[in-house]
Each structure stands twice: as C-alpha cells, then as structure tokens.
A and B are shown apart, each in its own frame.
Chain A
C-alpha cells in the first residue's frame, strides 16, 4: 500500500481532528480506499487459491439461529432475485454503519442497516443507537433530489474562517456584506480554539444560527467557509497547492470557485458509533454471531476521533477476529445444519413474506420519497441536537410515516430478476425500525455526551453536560417483538487508569 513517505523513505504522519500530535499514517486523501485495495487484493489471492468463494451481488436479509446460536443466513441474489440459504458454523457481519437512516449522509448510497437490524430482531442487543456523528465540513444540499452530501477535509478549517451575516435574513451575496456585518461566530464564541473547535461543537453552532435565520444558500442551510484572508496572507498559489484537489472537488459539485467566493458548508451525518453490542471477542449476544467494524458499537464511545475508524477496521479484522472466530470454530464442532432445517425454512419465510408484502402495497409513491421524509425527520429530531419533546414528537411522526410507507409505497417489478427498487424498499423498511430505537435511546439518555447533545443538559455557556453518576454506561437494547417496548439493559463503564473529565474549548 503506497503510504505517504518522508524524503528519507520513512512513513509520513499527519495530525487529525481531536489529536494534538501528528501520529496518523496516510495515503493522500485516500487512506481508507488504499487500505481497501490492499485487503481486496489479498482476498482475490485467496479466491485464486480456492480458499474463499465470493458470492457477489447478494443482500443478507435474515439471520438463521438454532437454539439461539447463529447458524446461517438468508441472502437475496440481486440479479436473479433468488433467495438462498447459507448454513455455517459461525456468521461474521462487517456490514458498516447506518448514517443513511438520515437519507442524506456522507456514506455510499447502498450502505444500510438491514443485516444488523435483522440480527437485532433475532436477539442481538443493539448498543447506543443514538450515538451518531455529524461532520461539520460537508458540501450542503442544493436541491430536493440531491442524493448525498460529500465530505470535505476538515483541514480546510485551518485556513478557512467560518462566518454568517450578522443580520438574520440578509440575502446579499457574500462580497456585498461589509466586514463589520459579518459574524465570525466560532472565533467570537471560542476565542481559544476559534474555527478549530471539535466537530460536534462546530456543527451545533452552525445549526443554531441557521435556525435563527442567519443561514445562507438554498433554504438558508449553510454557512460560509472563507479562504479570503488566508489567500491575502499567503497568496493564492500557496493555498491552491495546499488544498488543490479539495478546491477542485468543491467547484465540481457546487459550481462556485472557492478562491473568489466563500465556500458554503453544512454538517452532515458521517459515522455511527452505535451498533450491535459485542464482547471483547467481537461476538454479539447471539453466540456464533461476530460483528466487525462500524457495524458494532465498540471502540469509539460516544464520539469517534479522526482516523480511528480505519484503525478499528484493522484491529477488528486483522488482530481480533482471526483469533476469536477460529477459537469459536475450534470449540464448537457441531455438524452443519441442513438447508431445509426448520430454522432455515422459517428464516426463508420471513424474508419471502417481507418481499411479498412490499410488492403488494401497490401505492403511488416511490421508496426514495419516503426515505427523504424519514431522513428529514431524523435529522430534525435526532440529529445535531436533541430535546425530549422533539424526540417524543419524532416517535409519533415516525409511526405515522411508517404506516404511510406500508400503505402508499409503490415497489415496481417482481421478486424475480434485478429489482433495485425492491432492494431499497427492504432497506428503508428496516431503517424505520432502527430510527425508532434511535429516538428511544436518545430520549432515555438524559445527559449530553460526545456526539449526543440534549438541549436540556447543557452548561450556562451552552456546552455538553454529562451525568456520570447516572449514565456512565452502555445502553444495550433488546428486541421484544413488533409493537412491544424494547428493553434497555445497561453495562457499566469502568475507568481504572484515567477518569473522564470535561472538555473546554473556550
């Protein structure tokens, strides 16, 4: 893997959000992508050796459990539509995070929660679902049909100054707003850290001012990130060389030249710290079901720091799972179950029933229309900032929306052959269930903690206030049937060497 190098040939390092030391190896802006290629190549080598069989173009729709132990999965072949049963001695899920519950996020469009959600319904505990990270420097949306929010490197905050018109409802173009009428709100509120405050703080302050009518751009949902002063200080060429690719990307997407006019940015859902509960072996509460990467809840607590998602991918996939999954296999030499085992048939029926129900609705609205509504609801009620009455209202609205989905959606085509709309419908149906759990979890956690900010729990200066006496624990939710209240378990956090303290950036 072509990591960046110093002149002497040693590995180069970079500093990252939340860390004061330069300690992160990187490969330009593609570290994750290059790690993925390395893993992909190693995988294709095993394929060539006949040790791994790839079953591409499949969506996992159900988990098979026998006597409470994971013994297989039901997948849908995305080209033929066939439902397949795969039996196994262990099941490993590495199916990523659930930021797409918000519809617009920085994640790839096919990222989804179905695998972990289906496992949750089979008994796997879901931990801290409300811990979701909203990244401040994304290219905002311009139109209702926009399908994703692209992340820009946080490094831009090193040279860019964040501002908004001081007067609410000011519709003048940025160049026409004189210096005295600009509010550099992060510098004003945080003289020590200024534009470099942590992600959650920057996101929250931007949202507050947009809600108060100061926001700019389409719908008033963005803030300026202005390179003007940096260009005046260091020259256009230096700034262009420092951020070259990023500035090009911004221009390509927004159509504006960031050198001559301030960029517009807005926070976007980016990473989900919550996920299936796992133990130190990365095994979920269903024996034989292992969960790796962003799909599990471990490692990041209530907020993830820059670069540590890739660190977790390596830790889980390279160091932990090879030892713990093999240990499980060695200790459980149970004979394989037959593909027509009653447990497999039941799982198959569950998947078939869900597909048939979605195809039968025969409504008029496409899946995406509902997904957009779900996203709007979730970002409003359970996004950058949450509050009890809003969360309760969100639960109500969600119930109505889910009901409308199941009576008004139109999923064209049939269960056979390629049907991308059916794939989306199955995912969105599962996002409804997860959204409800997120709202409940956010409501139950009566404190502000990491990326979870409850408006009721803040200091006089508007900063997050934790309640370690009552909430220094992991919330792990148990599914108890459709319509039944899920059960909240708590696993206490024990700090032995270091004690959690309060952050201050003022």
Chain B
C-alpha cells in the first residue's frame, strides 16, 4: 500500500482510547451428543470501544492462530435488529445493559479485569447445536401455527382504503418490533414463550387486517407453544426485563383474554 492516508480506519491513533483486560468463561460444546463445559480464556488490553461479539472475534483469531477451534456464536446484523445473536452473560440474557442485544453490548460496560461467563440459551424448546448456538426454529414453527393473516394480498389496494388510528398504529408497532431472539424464553424459569407469542398476537390483533382470525390465531399459537415444549407463564416478568425491544409483559395478560 502507499504512504497516503487510508480510509481503512486501521491507522494508528486508537491507542489513546481506553482499553481493558477480561477473563472469559465460555461454554464449549462440540455437538449436542457430547457434554459441554466452561473453558477460561483471557483477553489482554482490548479496546473498550469493541462490542462483546467483536471481543469474541478477537479471541477467535487468537484461537485459530493457536490451532484451536474458534468459539461458535450466532450473529448477523450486529446492530440489534435481526435477532440472530443472544446468549447469557453472567446469567443474564443479552447481558447487564437494558434494552440491548449482545451485539450492541460494548466492553466499556465492564470493569477492567472483570470475569464474564458466556453460556447458551437454556430451554427444552431450544436444543443445543454447538458452543453458544442453539436451535430456535421452534419460534418459526410458532409463527407458522398462525402468526400471519391468511388472506392473499391480491392486487395492491388503495393505500388509504383502510384507516388506522395513529395511537393504534403506534401500539401495534411497539409489539411488532419483536426481533425473535428468544431472550424471553431463555430468561423464564418455565421457559415460556408467552411474551413472544403475545407480541405477535398483539401486533396482528391491533390492526384491521388481523381481525378476522384473531381468536383462531390465539388458540392455535397457544397450542403450538405447548407442543414445542415451552412452559407456561407464571408472571415472573423476567422476560420483560431482558427484552431488547422492551416489549411490555402486559401483553401476556391481554393474550389470556384473547384466547378465551
């Protein structure tokens, strides 16, 4: 490369930003058939400007150079909108910061020298795959049990043929913002998917297009929830506390009325 300044962002100068060292206890499990266990690693003097996933990237580069298997974790957007990432950080789904997915959890949230335990979601409905990765396809099956409107869209209708009040649209939006990460299930002692299902029912149930099948949808998604091995809700509200989109657990009571 030339001596011209570059656009790569890799130029020196970042040294002045804060750095810290971390002890990571990471759940390592080769496959569902083999038992897993924690393995300890140390990251020296990493930038506090990195996200926890970027710290894992850095750890993985070290493991690869040392000839070891890198830590497997899921991710994609890395900006808190796709729902791919998620594991427990010191027992908390997505870690200590409220309204934050683990890809948006930055190291400056932690003290220098802190120890972080990373383990996968633990739930009967989410079978383990490898390390921090679990199979969350049960959530897809919940949606296919009725989390949609079963009218073919047909020709594009005139946009304003159906009016929706501003407050109602905003309320539907708040529930539609669920990213399907599964943190609610992982944090629930009964491994209930109630907040996930309630959010979908409320999203569709508050819009005119969702009215015709409201009751049927609530019943069939409820049945599927049981069939997938999710537990029932005993109102501990942990789900609401960990939800990165801050979806209110009040929707669970709303759902109970719906299913009647």
Q: Is the CB of A366 within 8 A of B14?
A: no
A393 vs B165: C-alpha distance when bound (angstroms)? 58
Residue A219 contacts which of B10, B150, B207 (CB distance < 8 angstroms)? B10
Q: Is the CB of A144 within 8 A of B10?
A: yes
A10 vs B162: C-alpha distance when bound (angstroms)? 8
A159 vs B133: C-alpha distance when bound (angstroms)? 42
With contacts A41-B147, A140-B9, A379-B8 taken as known, whether A108 is within 8 angstroms of B78 at the C-beta atoms is yes
Q: Which residues of B contact A341 (CB under 8 A)?
A: none
Please tell me which stretch of A23-31, A81-89, A448-456, A474-482 contacts chain B, meaning at least 4 of its Cβ atoms lie within 8 angstroms of it. A23-31
Q: Is the CB of B49 within 8 A of A143?
A: yes
A369 vs B61: C-alpha distance when bound (angstroms)? 8
Asked whether B234 is an interface residue with its Cβ less than 8 Å from the other chain, the reply is no
A→B interface (CB under 8 Å): 1-12, 25, 27-28, 30, 33-34, 37, 40-42, 44-45, 47-48, 54, 56, 79, 104, 108-110, 140-148, 150, 207, 210-211, 213, 217-221, 252-255, 266, 318, 364-366, 368-369, 372, 375-377, 379-380, 383-384, 393, 397, 410, 412-413, 417-418, 420-421
Q: Is the CB of A2 within 8 A of B9?
A: no
Q: How far is the CB of B111 from chain A (nearest CB, A)?
A: 15
Q: Mostly helix, strand, loop or mixed at chain B's interface? A: loop
Q: Is the CB of A5 within 8 A of B165?
A: yes
Q: Is the CB of B50 within 8 A of A44?
A: no
Q: How far is the CB of B182 from chain A (nearest CB, A)?
A: 15
Q: Which residues of A contact B173 (CB under 8 A)?
A: 2, 4, 27-28, 34
Chain A residue at smallest Cβ distance from B19: A143
Write 10 A-B pairs (CB below 8 A) sorted by A numbering.
A4-B169, A45-B148, A145-B54, A147-B54, A380-B7, A383-B7, A393-B2, A410-B65, A418-B72, A418-B133
Q: Is the CB of A41 within 8 A of B143?
A: yes
Q: How far is the CB of B123 from chain A (nearest CB, A)?
A: 19
Residue A210 contacts which of B5, B55, B129 (CB distance < 8 angstroms)? B5
Residue A221 contacts which of B1, B9, B143, B146 (CB distance < 8 angstroms)? B9
Please tell me which stretch of B20-28, B86-94, B100-108 contacts chain A, meaning at least 4 of its Cβ atoms lie within 8 angstroms of it. B100-108
Q: Which residues of A contact B6 (CB under 8 A)?
A: 376, 379-380
Chain B residue at smallest Cβ distance from A421: B70
A27 vs B75: C-alpha distance when bound (angstroms)? 24
Residue among A207, A266, A376 with most chain B CB within 10 A: A376
Chain A residue at smallest Cβ distance from B82: A108
Q: Which residues of A contact B1 (CB under 8 A)?
A: 376-377, 380, 397
Q: Is the CB of A255 within 8 A of B4?
A: no
A211 vs B140: C-alpha distance when bound (angstroms)? 48
Given A2-B176, A412-B67, output 13 extra A-B contacts at Cβ < 8 Å. A33-B81, A44-B147, A143-B17, A144-B14, A145-B54, A146-B50, A147-B57, A221-B9, A253-B106, A372-B10, A376-B1, A397-B1, A412-B68
